[in-house]
Structures are given as C-alpha cells and as structure tokens.
Amino acid sequence: MLNQLPFDEALRSTVGTPRRSELLDSSPRSRVWRVQLADRSPVIVKQITDDGDTGADADTRFAREVAGLRLAGRATEPAVAPAVLATDQPARVMVLDHLDDLGRTDDWMPGYAESLARLHALTGPADVGALPAWSGPTAADAESFLALARTLDVPVPSAAPDELGALLDRLDPTPHHALLHGDPCPGNDLRTTGGVRFVDFERASLGNGLVELAYFRIGFPTCWCAMSVTGAPLAEVEDIYRTTWRVLTGGDVPGDLADACASWLIQGDALVERAHRGTADQLARVPTEDFEWGYVSARERLVHRLGVVADITRDHDHLHAVGHLSSALATHLLERWPALRPLPAHDARPWH
C-alpha cells in the first residue's frame, strides 16, 4: 500500500517516514489513509481527487479545506478539528493529526452542539476573504418551492412570494462571519477524549452559525442519515449552543432560527447527495418520483422539513404565509402518500 501513498520527499522531511498505511473509507472526492510513521504517532493523509471535477475545482476544494482546518486550529483546550501538520499543494495532499475516535456514545448531541458553537465563534470580520461566504438558497429555489405547491394543487397564500423574497434578503451572509463547517454530519464529528472534533472541511465557509444550528431541527439536511430531534433533547442542544456562543463572544447568536430552517426547506439540492446537486430541479421531481438518499426518501425528508417550518413559524411575523403553506403541503403529502415514514430519531444515529 505504501507505493500508492502520495507522500513525497518534502512531506517525509517534514513529518517523517511512513512505515505502514491503511486506506480508509471516504467519499469519491478524496482518498484517505491512516499512516504509521517511523518515529511518531500515526497521522491521517488525505488527498483531494478530481472525481469528474476539473483540476481547478479539485484545487479549490483542497484550498478550502486547508483554510477551514487552519482557522479551526485556532481552538485549543479543547481543539475542534485535527491540526494540519503539512501539505503538498500540487498533489492536493494534507497530513493531519490522527484522532482516536471513541465511537458510539449514548448521548452524542450535547458535545456536538458545544463543539459546533466553539467552531463557529473562532472567526470574525477580520477573516473576510479567508473562505467563501456561505451560499444559501436563491430566487430560483424560492420559485421552485412555490411551483411545487402549484403542481400539487396546494393553494399558495398571496403573501408567500414576498415573504420568500424578504427571506432571501435576510439570509445574506455578508454581515456574518462564523466559521461554518459546511457539512457537519454524523461521521464528520469524531468523539475523542478531549471532546468532539470535526473533519472534512471541503465545504467550509463564513456565514451565520444558525444555518448549522438548524441541522438539529431540520433533520441534518446535507447528510445521508437524516434524523429527527424534538422535545427536551432539542431544547437542550440549542441551549448548549447558544450558551457556549454567549460565553465565547459576549453576545447572543445573531439572526433568526426560523429563517435558517426555511432556507433548508426551499433548497431542493438539500434532498440529494453532493454529486447530484446542481444537476436538476430536485423539488420538481417530488410529485412524480420519491428518490432515496441513504435510508430516507426525498418525500420523507421534505415532510419533516415542512413540519418543522410550519411549527417554528406559527407565531412568526415575517414567515406567517410560508408557515401556512408548509403546513398545507405537509398535510397534502401525507394524505397522498400515507406510507411515508417519519425520520429516525436521533438515538438511531448510525455509527461507523
């Protein structure tokens, strides 16, 4: 396996000589090895691959991940991500600290919420340009959501289009500078003796931390293993996040969680895995096919998100019509396809 390891002389002189390597599971867009070095503890070697992208796209993903990891490296005692030990930019290779993952724990969310808040609080206005700004829903996403309702013969409240337009304005990431992971999914959070640490920063950006705090309510929208968090566990993790943010920054989390949840609802690309995003209007597919991602279908994901938005906007001044439309759409989907299942509960989280 060593003859396949992208470990040149410069890396050897920086971190040491590899003795053994083991190829680990990873996305098709990267290759990851656990490497035992001659004179030190193991490291992780990650190479960003093209996987159908142009070389420039892969170069961008590499630069983005390294930048995100280095910003995350500001956190110490405890850390929130592995340290970057060395890089080989031409080969798109990074060498990272190896983290011993404790694996399954009965109550995984509190530590996740605390580390997520600590990650988000690491950056500020001085870091503008260090990463791309968060990219949220567009006017085309809002129109696709309204078109879905019309296709299903669900009446669209007259105020809904204007509410969605105003939502897009409020979601502008410009005033916000939190360090967003980009894909904080189960599997990208490792449980260590020092706390939760995040890996896979290929989609890191700067924006409003609420768009990732919303993962708990909205069902982990960029993740193959969608889950439902409700009741006391939901209240606990949101309180942990907000309290941690307040301690670290001296103020309350800016923005509106309802806006963040609605942003995920109207993004059709959040119904499919990364390789299929940007290839079709995914919401337009829902009336005619129920495509699966992981063990949850698109309609099941959508019903959950509709219910969340209907609930969180019940007394909301700016998303009242969108909430009513979400409630009506959820009811319609369940009446039309009564076999749709609720999302698995958070304690059914898969472990690798």
Residue 301, pLDDT > 80, answer yes
pLDDT mean over 250-271: 97
Of 164, 115, 109, 111, give the one whose Cα is nearest residue 139: 164
Same domain, 292 and 169: yes
Q: How far is CA 13 from CA 70, 86, 181, in A?
A: 21, 10, 31
Q: How far apart are CA 58 and CA 221, in angstroms?
A: 24
101, two tokens = 């993952």
Looking up residue 9, the CATH number of its domain turns out to be 3.30.200.20
Q: In angstroms, how far is CA 300 from the centroid of its own chain?
A: 19
Q: How far apart are CA 209 and CA 121, in angstroms?
A: 8
Structure confidence at residue 3 (pLDDT): 59
Domains held by the chain: number: 2
Structure confidence at residue 47 (pLDDT): 95
Looking up residue 331, the CATH number of its domain turns out to be 3.90.1200
pLDDT mean over 292-301: 95
Structure confidence at residue 257 (pLDDT): 97
Q: Which residues pair with 87 in a beta bridge?
A: 94
Q: Quick one: pLDDT band at residue 1, thresholds 50, 70, 90?
A: low
Which range of residues forms the domain containing residue 269?
A: 109-348
Give a yes or no: residue 102 inside a domain: no
Q: Quick one: pLDDT band at residue 155, thresholds 50, 70, 90?
A: very high
Mean pLDDT of the chain: 94
Q: Quick one: pLDDT band at residue 351, thresholds 50, 70, 90?
A: confident
Percent of the chain with pLDDT over 90: 83
Residue 225, pLDDT > 70, answer yes
Structure confidence at residue 276 (pLDDT): 85
Give a yes or no: residue 104 inside a domain: no
Same domain, 285 and 306: yes
Same domain, 146 and 209: yes
Same domain, 121 and 69: no
Same domain, 72 and 162: no
Q: 228 with 344: CB under 8 angstroms? A: yes
Residue 40, pLDDT > 90, answer no
Same domain, 146 and 61: no
First to last CA, the chain: 23
Q: 206 with 173: CB under 8 angstroms? A: yes
Same domain, 78 and 133: no
Q: Which pTM was predicted?
A: 0.94
Q: How far apart are CA 84 and CA 104, in angstroms?
A: 26
Of 232, 51, 204, 185, give the one whose Cα is nearest residue 131: 204
Q: 284 with 234: CB under 8 angstroms? A: no
Q: 145 with 167: CB under 8 angstroms? A: no
pLDDT mean over 169-189: 95
- Burial (0-12, 13-18, 19+ Cβ within 10 Å), 104: exposed
pLDDT mean over 125-148: 97
Same domain, 76 and 216: no
